[in-house]
Amino acid sequence: MSARGTIEGLGSSHPLGGQLPAVYADDDFAQRFVEGLDIVLAPLFNVLDCLEAYFDPAIAPEDFVDWLTTWVGTELDGTEPLEIRRHAVATAVSLHRVRGTAQGLSQAVQLAFGVRPEITESGGAMWSARPLGPFPGTPRAGLTVTLTVPDPSAIDPYRLQAVVAAARPAHLPFTAEVTRKTLIPEGN
């Protein structure tokens, strides 16, 4: 975890020496004392002067992007490349709008693993002009999320479980699985 601190050569945009009462304007000790405070406060003033840039995931410093991912509730673990983390923050609102839907679940898994999953739901919707028509789907509610990748050992199954648990409909039991992508030989 990095921390912000003093930056060599960064001058304060609001030096304290000029803001002291007139009695201290010519006091060498007072001016040197507040000059030391200016060094400490300069990065703070710099951040405040550029505050809107810290909340723009496209240009925010990397450590601040990591903090923003926790603010907006992304399903990332922090090991993703910076561009994916920036994208996750930028799209968090649109992803939260579809949270709990097949579309939202698919987008969350794809964002976390870079692969669009196959989602199988047990339910369905239909209408009938007659009473006592057949119910759609299966009698037992459930959801299966399958991630098909060339190397299943590269996917953390616990991480997949966590992403699916966070993005699925809250009431729905689920199964998350990783399968090997079968390569079709050329010429077939």
Model pLDDT, residue 1: 43
Domain annotation covers residue 83: no
Domain annotation covers residue 143: yes
DSSP state of 22: G
Give the 3-state secondary structure of residue 127. Answer: coil
Domain annotation covers residue 187: yes
Q: Do 107 and 174 lie in a common domain?
A: yes
The rounded distance, in Å, linking the Cα atoms of 85 and 46 is 24
According to DSSP, the residues that pair with 177 across neighbouring strands are 146
pLDDT digits (tens, 9 = 90+) for 117-167: 999 988 777 777 888 877 777 778 889 999 999 999 989 999 899 999 989
Domain annotation covers residue 179: yes
The CATH number linked to 165 is 3.30.300
Model pLDDT, residue 3: 55
Q: What percent of the chain clears pLDDT 90, i.e. is strictly above it? A: 29
Among 49, 66, 91, the domain boundary falls at 49
The rounded distance, in Å, linking the Cα atoms of 150 and 36 is 58
Domain annotation covers residue 29: yes
Domain annotation covers residue 81: no
Tally of structural domains, the chain: 2
Model pLDDT, residue 80: 83
Model pLDDT, residue 131: 85
Domain annotation covers residue 32: yes
Model pLDDT, residue 50: 83
Own/partner pairs, 111-115, CB within 8 angstroms, 24+ separation: 111/74, 111/75, 111/76, 111/84, 111/87, 112/75, 112/76, 112/77, 112/80, 112/159, 112/160, 112/163, 113/147, 113/149, 113/155, 113/160, 113/163, 114/84, 115/147, 115/148, 115/149
Q: Do 115 and 187 lie in a common domain?
A: yes
Model pLDDT, residue 59: 92
The rounded distance, in Å, linking the Cα atoms of 168 and 160 is 12
| Residues of the chain under the 70 pLDDT cut | 1-7, 185-188
Q: Do 108 and 188 lie in a common domain?
A: yes
Model pLDDT, residue 57: 92
Give the 3-state secondary structure of residue 180. Answer: strand
Domain annotation covers residue 71: no
Domain span including residue 40: 17-49
Q: Do 107 and 187 lie in a common domain?
A: yes
